[in-house]
Structure formats: structure tokens, C-alpha cells
Amino acid sequence: MGRACRLGVALAVAWFAGAAGGAFLSVAAGASPPARPGMNPNPVRLVRPPAAPLSAMARLGRRVFFDPTLSASGRLSCASCHSPAHAYGPPGALPAMFGGPRLTRQGVRAVPSLMYLDRQPNFSIGPDNAETEGVNLRRAAGRGQHAPRAHKSARAPTAAAANLVPQGGLFWDGRADTLQAQAIGPLRSPFEMDGGSDARLAALLARAPYAGRMRALFGTAIFATPRLAVAEALFAVARYQIEDPAFHPYTSKFDFWLEGKARFTPAELRGYRAFNDPAKGNCAGCHLDRPTPDGRPPLFTDHQFEALGVPRNPALRVNRDPHYFDLGLCGPYRADLAAETGYCGLFLTPSLRNVATRHVFFHNGVYHHLRQVLDFYDFRDVAPGRVYPRAPDGTVAIADDLPARYRGNLDRQDPPFGGTHGARAPMSAADERDIIAFLRTLTDGYRSRGPGR
Ligand code: HEC
Ligand code: HEC
């Protein structure tokens, strides 16, 4: 039996024991007091990506990533919005960043973190990529919207993996598949870098201090074909994001806790339990928190799309138009699924790694504090008046960022949602505080002090 295989078996046994009440699910459920308080009673060995020096291609990509001269303003690089000091997410609390030639055009969505995207699957509709690859997306969508769907429970998080649902891809609506295909978006977008035509961008690349590196890697004639020059530069940026361990270090306190090298505080441990408790947060039903069977650290997303119905954000300039709606999967920024109205309002579930370093939450950046996010999950269905504004007629404007005809798409079946109006909230204020304490353990750069200390 190979090593990888043995590890797989060991983990599978741990999962099984977990389901039966042992392993770290006992911690989650609080079944028996662990021998050493705050320590993972069943440490696992995590398989992190092997570290290797960056290739010449990735080193070129790093220079492009930090190069502001490619933007119309001359002041925006990828790193301006995806700040390395902020988990490659937005540097401040603006709901969307400003771009364009004079940095006056506000974006339409919150800037996502670029971390942990190396394991993001391609966009598909169905239980796995193999089935829908090459298959007509529209047909899959038609099937998917009528298929029964397993509930997402933190207790059996893999049951939902077989759902015929949209999953994967990059951007909040999954419209790009590869990091390379993705990068041309912001580079050209009028409210982002606004870099202009291939001809303009290639001319800038040809004058960049790294132009010599490009000639060495892609041939001396590279700048003669502008489209190719831009594509190669973006390929290099993608390599940088894939190769540099800074984009996927797995050095959070939670990773070390999984390995038995860090001790949870009582609040973190309670938060971890509530995060996994189907009767409380049920967060792990979608933000998966167990290592994969082959030992890779959890990503805190199931890569699926959901319509949570977060409130409309009046701070976004596009929202001044009352007829404008960001409908995620069904548009306006992707067009191929526009006819699939069952997908209107669905957005990609983001990873929660490093989420505590953010100051803007959800696709429209409507919230600035984790406490507001937790209140949203807690009260959306049982006390919507605490989440949504009032309509002019005095009623609560439930799911006010989704046209009424699409509100049936809201996820009401997966806890913590689904409570009836006026019922007790699934999480107490203390539960919310504890879950936030747990979310803070997902920030990379924790210094493990070794086992037992
Ligand atoms: C003006 C701010 C801004 C700049 C500059 C910018 N981006 Fe982004 N980026 C965004 C926003 C906003 C999104 C989300 C857009 C959406 O979902 O439609 C995004 C999404 C992404 C994503 C998808 C992330 C995910 O979780 O799906 C990647 C990858 C990315 N950007 C890489 C880059 C690269 C590479 C550059 C430089 C070529 C760049 N970005 C420049 C704002 C920016
Ligand atoms: C049914 C699946 C589901 C469940 C259960 C769930 N989430 Fe989410 N989560 C999502 C989706 C989808 C989004 C993005 C929604 C959007 O932006 O419109 C999201 C976004 C978030 C964000 C914002 C992240 C960012 O980068 O902006 C946080 C924080 C978060 N969830 C925490 C939690 C916590 C804590 C719980 C448990 C109380 C939880 N989630 C339960 C699906 C889920």
C-alpha cells in the first residue's frame, strides 16, 4: 500500500469514527471532554502543496501583477485591489474599488481574495466536472432546476456534493474558468484597470522593465502579435498565483489545530462547534471545514452557488438605478445563463479562509463587520425586520436586492435559514461571538508553538 493511500485510509477511518461520534466531530458535538482541553483529540496530517522556487514564468507574472503602468490611470495594478497585505483582497472598507482613467468609476462588486483559487474547480452544473464538460450548459441547467436537492448539513457535508447544482468557476458568478482567462477582465474593464486594446497593452508591455524577460521567455517576435503578448503576460500572472505559496500557505491557527499543534481558546472551541452544529450556524454545510480524504486542508467552501438574498447596498453607485439588479449567475455580467431564471440571484460560496482580514462582505459589499454577517444568517427568516430596510408602505422589504419574481430562488431549506417568522433565532448572541472567534482562527500566518503548548 502506498503512503498516500495509507493516509487516505487513516483519514477515512477518522471520518467514519467522526460520524459515529469520535474524531474531531466529538469536539464539534461536545460528546466527551477531550483529554487536553482545546486540542484536537484526533490530529491529522495535512498535505500542503510542495514548496519550490518560482519558475521564470511566475517571476515575470509577479512583476506584471504589481505593474500599475498597464492601467489607464497609471496608478492601478492587480495588487491595488488584491492587496498582498490583506490576503490579496481589498485594502479598505469600500464596498467596491474605484478604477477608470481618473479612478472615479466605482466597481460593481466587492473584491474577492485571490487566495486558495488554485483548487477552484471549473464552472459546471452537475455532480462533477467530468459529466458536464463538453455538455450543453443550458441542457444541464434545465435538468438541474428540476432535480431534487439534498439539504446541506454540517453533519453530512458531502451528501450535497451530488446535487445537480452550478458550481466552480472564478468571479462571484463563476463566469471565468482559468486564472489566465480571468485576468483579461479587470485589465480591460472600464471601471477597473481600463487597460484598453491589445495594441495599447502590448505597446506598454514592450516598454516595461520586464520586456526583456518576455522576449527571453516567449521569443523575440512576441510584441509583433499584440493579442499573443497580452495573453502570455496573463498566463505568467496565473503562474505566479499558482506557484507562489503566499497564495495558499495553509498556516492558520485552525490548520495547526487540525494537526494537533495549536490549542483553541474556549471561545474558539465553542465557535467551532456552533459552526458545525446543524441546529446553530450549520456554516460547515456550505463552508466545508474537514480535510479532503487525501489529506488536503479544507477550503471552507463547497464551490457551489446559492441565493442568500443579502440586502441591497445603497452605497454602490450602480444601485442608484432602481431597475439595476446584480443577479449573479443569470447576469448581467455573464450572459450564457440569462434564460435560466431559476439561477437568478445565485452567487458563488466564497472560502472563509482569511475572512477576518476583510472589511467588506458578500458580493455587493453590503456589510463591514462579521457581526453584521452573523446577524444576517441568524435573523433573515425569523426576524427579517432586523436585516432588511422598510419599504415605503412600512412593510419589511425582504430580499430587496432581488426582483420579486426571483425570490422563490432564495435558499430556505439549508439551516440556519428556514425558520418561521417570529421563531427563536438559531444562534444566540454568544454563539455569534464564538463563531467570529473561530473565524479569526482561519487567518494565515499563525505561529504554531508546537504540540501541547
Ligand atoms: C479595480 C479593482 C481591481 C483590479 C485592479 C483588479 N481586480 Fe481582480 N477583481 C476585482 C473584483 C471587483 C472582482 C470580482 C468581480 C466579479 O465577481 O465580477 C475581481 C475578481 C478577480 C478574480 C476572481 C477571484 C475569485 O474569487 O473568483 C481574480 C483571479 C482576479 N480578480 C485577478 C486579478 C488580476 C490578475 C488583476 C490584474 C491583472 C486584477 N484582478 C485586477 C477587482 C479588481
Ligand atoms: C447554504 C449555504 C451557506 C451556509 C449554510 C452558510 N453560508 Fe456563508 N456564504 C454562502 C454564500 C453563497 C455566500 C456568498 C453570498 C453572496 O455574496 O451573495 C456566503 C458568504 C459568506 C461570507 C462573506 C465572505 C466574503 O468574502 O464576503 C461570510 C463571512 C460567511 N458566508 C460566513 C458564514 C457563516 C459564519 C455561516 C454560518 C452561520 C455561513 N456562512 C453559512 C453560503 C452559505
Per-residue pLDDT tens for 297-354?
999 999 999 999 999 999 999 999 999 999 999 999 999 999 999 999 999 999 999 9
pLDDT at position 22 is: 34
* CB-CB neighbours of 139 under 10 Å: 11
Nearest CA to ligand 1 atom 6: 78
CA of 349 to the centre of ligand 2 (A): 6
Strands 166-167 and 124-125 come out as: antiparallel
Rounded Cα gap, residues 111 and 81, in angstroms: 7
Looking at the CA of residue 364, tell me the nearest atom of ligand 2. Answer: 17
CA of 63 to the centre of ligand 1 (A): 17
* Any atom of ligand 1 within 6 Å of the Cβ of 97: yes
CA of 111 to the centre of ligand 1 (A): 6
pLDDT at 64 over 90: yes
Domain ranges of the chain: 56-116+175-247
CA of 344 to the centre of ligand 1 (A): 22
* Any atom of ligand 1 within 6 Å of the Cβ of 194: no
Lowest mean pLDDT among 89-98, 269-278, 342-351: 89-98
pLDDT at position 189 is: 82
pLDDT at position 38 is: 95
pLDDT at 397 over 80: yes
CA of 69 to the centre of ligand 2 (A): 36
Looking at the CA of residue 348, tell me the nearest atom of ligand 2. Answer: 12
Rounded Cα gap, residues 18 and 407, in angstroms: 37
* Any atom of ligand 1 within 6 Å of the Cβ of 239: no
CA of 227 to the centre of ligand 2 (A): 38
Domain 56-116+175-247, CATH: 1.10.760.10
Q: What number of CA atoms fall less than 13 Å from residue 212's CA on the CB side?
A: 1
pLDDT category of residue 165 using cuts at 50, 70 and 90: confident
pLDDT at position 287 is: 98
pTM of the model: 0.90
Q: How many percent of the chain have pLDDT more than 70?
A: 85
pLDDT at position 194 is: 84
Secondary structure of residue 176 in the 3-state scheme: strand
Greater pLDDT, 362 or 195 = 362
Q: What number of CA atoms fall less than 13 Å from residue 232's CA on the CB side?
A: 24
Mean pLDDT across the stretch 11-24? 35
CA of 102 to the centre of ligand 2 (A): 34
Site to substitute for ligand 1 among 88, 104, 114, most atoms within 8 A of C-beta: 114
pLDDT category of residue 139 using cuts at 50, 70 and 90: low
pLDDT at 14 over 70: no
* Any atom of ligand 1 within 6 Å of the Cβ of 99: yes
Looking at the CA of residue 113, tell me the nearest atom of ligand 1. Answer: 26
